[in-house]
Structure 1
Amino acid sequence: MKKSLYILSLLLMVSCSKESKIISEILPQDSTKLIPVDSLKNANLKTESGKLSKEETLKKLNNEILSTLKSKDYDSFSNYIHPEKGITFSMYSYINPKKDKHFSGEGFKNYSATKTRFTWGEKDGTGDLLVLSIKDYMTEWVFTRNFKNSEFYFNEFKGIGNTINNIKKIYPNDLFTENFIPGTEIFSGMDWSSLIFVFEQYNDNYYLVAVANNSWTT
């Protein structure tokens, strides 16, 4: 009986030794270098979500808005205006909430179909008032150049002139895009211009809260 037990123990030891050898051959030599499970989960979330970054999202919106301005489709443009805060138009990069023209989305849409004229601000240099209808303001001031062919900048200003730019101060928690057209050598680069859009998030979407033009001023 004792002899039988001794033989059975030997067989079990041999079996375990072989199994351990097989497992050691299958596993990596340095198992501590395996990727943690949490890291794999995070990587899967990033690849499977398919969500655009903020910059990609706003670049897409920026280009869509430029298309509406180029085609003078102001009904479509009004759809990008913030549903609650509306939109402010500034002739220059210095935002003056008390003086700059402000519209709700519905107000902009309705007035853009009329010849009603508004005072938008004062022209730099002369101080003359700019009085135009919405359509004329959009074509004669906002989209005076083809910004569809401009350089795109996200949350940074390429155009720097002698006008104070207080957009970041007025809209500290919002995001903005700049469509910049460089100046020419003939004018030593001083004939640059840019069109700026300020966006605010609302119900998981971004909407326009301000549109400003920028250029070299006297």
Structure 2
Amino acid sequence: MKRLLISMLVLGLVVACKKEPGKPVPNEIDTIARINPDSAKVVKNDTLKMAGLKKTNDEVLQTLKAKDYKTFATFIHPEKGISFSMYAFVDPKKDKHFSKAEFEKYQPTKTLFTWGEMDGSGDPYKATINDYLGKWVFSGDFTTSQYSQSKFIAGGNSLNNLEKIYPHKDFTENYIKGTEKTSEMDWKTLRFVFEEFQGKYYLIAVVNDQWTI
């Protein structure tokens, strides 16, 4: 009789522990299976974004190296246009800004624009669009430079306020290390600020940086 009661008790516990039809008992494997697809999706999207920015960054550099400024213009934001900063400090009131249409209009011409002031002398830097892009913006072969995304590699004594002026924007940096002859003080860096528009990344700012006096 005692054995029969024990058997019935054990049988009751087994039945009670069985999962209800259609209601799987949560466990570690089930939890991982439910979480991983979403996590993987986030990682995938971040990876695609990083790859997209890198690809666009490199394409812009190639247009500058080839002095193909008509193709460069296709990367300018259709609505916000593009701004150029000679040094790390971005000044929206003084930096040269073009709408996409203005850039395309004046790029082939010999029209001189004032892009900013030279460090040290304070003299205005005047040049055509082509000369500014060829001599100032692409002052070194940035296609072989060190690349960084949303992180600064270089920094000098000029205030870098890019993130303050362009908060929550995606930016890239292309850095050329200085030479030993100058104790690496002749480094150069070229930063691009991007904004997504209709599924594509466009330039809204080009910022150069280097050691200043």
Q: TM-score, normalised by structure 1?
A: 0.80
Give 2:175's aligned residue.
Answer: 180
Report deviation, 1:175: 0.9
What are the Cα deviations for residues 48-91 of structure 1, in whole angstroms up to 9, with x where unaligned?
A: x7884322211111000000000011111111111111000010
What are the Cα deviations for residues 15-35 of structure 1, in whole angstroms up to 9, with x where unaligned?
A: xxxxxxxxxxxxxxxx94533
User: Could you say what secondary structure the match of 2:101 adopts?
Assistant: helix
1:69-218 to structure 2, matched below 5 A, reads: 69-218=64-213
Report deviation, 1:163: 0.4
Q: 1:190 to 1:50 in 2, by over 3 A?
A: closer
Give 1:9's aligned residue.
Answer: none
What are the Cα deviations for residues 127-172 of structure 1, in whole angstroms up to 9, with x where unaligned?
A: 1111100001011100011000100011111111000011000001
Amino acid at match of 2:38: N
Q: 1:40 to 1:138 in 2, by over 3 A?
A: closer
Amino acid at match of 1:39: I
Report deviation, 1:104: 0.9
Cα distance in 2 between the residues matched to 1:58 and 1:149: 17
Q: Is the counterpart of residue 38 in structure 1 residue 25 in structure 2?
A: no
Cα distance in 2 between the residues matched to 1:41 and 1:154: 26
Give 1:13's aligned residue.
Answer: none
Cα distance in 2 between the residues matched to 1:216 and 1:44: 42
Q: Name the count of aligned residue pairs.
A: 189
Report deviation, 1:185: 1.2
User: Could you say what secondary structure the match of 1:186 adopts?
Assistant: helix
Cα distance in 2 between the residues matched to 1:174 and 1:88: 14
* Fraction of identical pairs, as percent: 48
